[in-house]
């Protein structure tokens, strides 16, 4: 595995693959890798000739009072995991490499999708995501890019961004990886105290309770959300929201047959997010379709 820390070096490493019309896959991360990230790399490995993983703690994604300075930076350990996962190139740029002038003057904003849910509680966050992903798409020029479905709203923002700006990139959502007790894997789980870690699976249990109610015929969306919020509060969580939406993140109609249930809640000093896809006639946790372009790899 090569490690590149500059845009120039990365371009040099990708030249042969581009000239050979190889399928390039990109997995953008902020490091502190866990099994969920490695699943993204493995999916990229299945469908691409060359896999690039970026590790960049993006300052644009962090608001005032958020955890940019204390966000875990574990590059040496991450590098070992990526070698084991057969990553071809690790791109680990500095802030100066990604943003030649700071603060960044040009920002990318995806209207509509970015203002609600997490966007309402983290102003500017999705503009930071959209800006850095746009830069990575321009730098790497991937054919496919892989993102976890745990960050459902982020995935929706990136899909819209890619379509609206005509990036020639296929976006692949990869299902959430969970611990044995149901907690969605996240780099921020490391912040949880032992006591809070024991409580954290209640988020997934709450999602499954709402899913069961929907599958049983309930369409009292606001009432279900309110009960879920009360349950989380009773166990020490500070919920930002529990929302039942259609899969395009609009509010569902009473005749809806497919939903995504989304939650964000603080537990101690740690903000956790999760979601669950539900479809009448199918079990929760719908799986993403495999990429149409997968056949491009021999």
Strand (E) or helix (H) holding 195: helix 194-199
Spatial distance between the Cα atoms of 129 and 61, rounded to a whole number of angstroms: 6
SS3 35: helix
Annotated catalytic residue, options 34, 37, 121, 125: 37
> Whose structure tokens read 């990230």?
37
Q: Would you state the structure tokens that stand for residue 189, as one six-digit string? A: 């789980």
CA dist 298 to 35, 43, 49, 293, Å?
Answer: 26, 15, 9, 11
CA dist 126 to 63, 179, 254, Å?
Answer: 11, 27, 29
Q: How many CA atoms lie within 13 A of 125 on its CB side?
A: 22
Spatial distance between the Cα atoms of 223 and 226, rounded to a whole number of angstroms: 5
Sign of CA dihedral 38, 39, 40, 42: positive
Active site residue 37: yes
Active site (catalytic) residues: 37
């Amino acid at each position: 595995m090569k490690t590149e820390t500059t845009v120039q070096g990365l371009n040099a490493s990708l030249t042969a693959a581009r000239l050979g019309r190889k399928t390039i896959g990109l997995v953008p991360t902020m490091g502190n890798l866990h099994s969920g990230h490695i699943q993204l790399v493995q999916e990229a490995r299945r469908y691409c000739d060359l896999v690039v993983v970026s590790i960049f703690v993006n300052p644009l994604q962090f608001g005032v009072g958020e955890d940019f300075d204390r966000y875990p930076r574990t590059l040496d350990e991450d590098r070992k995991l990526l070698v084991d996962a057969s990553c071809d190139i690790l791109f680990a740029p500095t802030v100066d490499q990604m943003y030649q002038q700071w603060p960044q003057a040009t920002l990318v904003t995806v209207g509509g999708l970015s203002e609600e849910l997490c966007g309402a509680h983290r102003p500017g966050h999705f503009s930071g995501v959209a800006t850095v992903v746009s830069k990575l798409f321009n730098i790497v020029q991937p054919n496919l890019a892989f993102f976890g479905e745990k960050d459902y709203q982020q995935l929706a923002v990136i899909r819209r961004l890619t379509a609206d700006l005509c990036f020639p990139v296929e976006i692949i959502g990869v299902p959430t990886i969970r611990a044995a007790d149901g907690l969605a894997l996240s780099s921020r789980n490391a912040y949880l105290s032992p006591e809070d870690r024991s409580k954290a699976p209640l988020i997934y249990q709450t999602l499954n309770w709402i899913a069961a109610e929907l599958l049983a015929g309930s369409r009292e969306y606001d009432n279900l959300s309110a009960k879920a919020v009360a349950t989380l509060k009773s166990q020490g969580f500070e919920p930002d929201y529990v929302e039942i939406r259609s899969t395009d993140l609009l509010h569902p109609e009473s005749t809806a047959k497919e939903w995504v249930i989304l939650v964000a809640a603080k537990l101690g000093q740690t903000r956790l997010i999760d979601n669950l896809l539900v479809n009448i006639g199918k079990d929760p946790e719908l799986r993403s379709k495999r990429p149409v372009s997968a056949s491009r790899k021999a």
